[in-house]
Amino acid sequence: MPEATRDDRPIRVAERFRLDGKRVLITGAGRGLGAACAEALAEAGAHVVLMSRSAEPLDAMAAKIATAGGSAETVVQDVTDIEATMASIDTLGPLDGLVNNAGSNQPEPFIEVAVDTYDRLFGVNVRACFFAAQAAAKGMIAGGVKGSIVNMSSQMGHVGAPNRTVYCASKHAMEGLTKAMAWDLGSSGIRVNTVCPTFVETPLTRPFFEDPAFKADTLSRIALGGLGQLEDVAAAVLYLIAPASGTTTGSAVMVDGGWTAR
């Protein structure tokens, strides 16, 4: 029988979404998007490291993952404490993936933004993201790991919006950072991408949508006509962490229902 050529070989795609034997750190993993990402990655076989500043939600999420048959550990750490965060990541040893999910927002008019607000939002959305990724990348390079870094961005990293000058600026910065990181780390086989969600229904965002005018305006900007779901975002993160996205780097995966398509 002749040897199979590349064109003759069967295409095996599903297995490229598996993360068996991989270790992935997720920041802001106690609730919301971070928790959903942790569950999805654990379901795909990864050992997930959950990082957040509060122990109680982390412990609850780790227990939930274990009950479902997954593997998780927790690290209580405020990511805005840069030196301590980098030390914590270094202690973990070489990781296969990092999901830079920790972030914050404080909507208010541009002319009312205080210096403290600006510094706080950039501190968590950009500075903490930068140095967590740096620490993870150093470990990957030292361990010879061709890993993946996913920075949780937003549709607001591609557009502007009222009362979101600082948030938009920080997410636009994250997009530029991600593209530059992709080039700096590409020679080491490390991929770097962003996931850019629209408004996602969570316990934290649900009160905003109790305002009928806000809800109507938001839905009018989403081509699919509905809010995003946690699973939508987690699935995009899984794709970017997994071998399935082996040639994807420096890219933004839009999970925005078409918000940025016009």
End-to-end CA distance of the chain: 54
Band (pLDDT 50/70/90 cuts) for residue 4 is low
Q: Which pLDDT score is estimated for 187?
A: 98
Q: Which pLDDT score is estimated for 3?
A: 57
Of the residues 118, 171, 215, 239, only one is catalytic, namely 171
DSSP string, 133-168: HHHHHHHHHHHT---EEEEE--GGGTS--TT-HHHH
Q: Which pLDDT score is estimated for 2?
A: 53
For residues 127-144, average pLDDT: 99
Q: Are 183 and 250 in contact (CB under 8 A)?
A: yes
136: nearest Cα among 126, 124, 146, 123: 146
Q: Are 65 and 83 in contact (CB under 8 A)?
A: no
**Spatial distance between the Cα atoms of 181 and 239, rounded to a whole number of angstroms:** 19
Band (pLDDT 50/70/90 cuts) for residue 201 is confident
Band (pLDDT 50/70/90 cuts) for residue 242 is very high
Mean pLDDT of all residues belonging to the chain: 96
Please report, rounded to a whole number, the percentage of residues in the chain having pLDDT higher than 90.
91
What residue has token string 């993870």?
136
**Spatial distance between the Cα atoms of 99 and 194, rounded to a whole number of angstroms:** 9
Of the residues 22, 64, 138, 167, only one is catalytic, namely 167
Q: Is 167 a catalytic residue?
A: yes
Q: Which pLDDT score is estimated for 167?
A: 98
What residue has token string 């607001």?
156
For residues 147-160, average pLDDT: 98
Q: Is 64 a catalytic residue?
A: no
For residues 22-48, average pLDDT: 98
**Spatial distance between the Cα atoms of 162 and 96, rounded to a whole number of angstroms:** 38
Band (pLDDT 50/70/90 cuts) for residue 208 is confident
**Spatial distance between the Cα atoms of 243 and 226, rounded to a whole number of angstroms:** 30
Q: Global pTM?
A: 0.95
Q: How many helices (H) and strands (E) does the chain have?
A: 8, 7
Q: Where are the alpha helices (DSSP H) in the chain?
A: 32-43, 55-67, 82-92, 115-122, 128-143, 165-186, 212-220, 230-241
**Spatial distance between the Cα atoms of 165 and 107, rounded to a whole number of angstroms:** 8
**Spatial distance between the Cα atoms of 8 and 15, rounded to a whole number of angstroms:** 19
Q: Are 34 and 204 in contact (CB under 8 A)?
A: no
Band (pLDDT 50/70/90 cuts) for residue 254 is very high
Q: Which pLDDT score is estimated for 202?
A: 80
pLDDT by residue (tens digit) across 155-187? 999 999 999 999 999 999 999 999 999 999 999
Q: Which pLDDT score is estimated for 8?
A: 80
Range with lowest mean pLDDT among 37-41, 72-76, 77-81, 213-217: 213-217
**Spatial distance between the Cα atoms of 218 and 226, rounded to a whole number of angstroms:** 9
For residues 249-260, average pLDDT: 98
Q: Structural domains in the chain?
A: 20-201+230-246 (3.40.50.720)
Q: Which pLDDT score is estimated for 6?
A: 65
Please tell me which residue, 155 or 6, carries the higher pLDDT value.
155
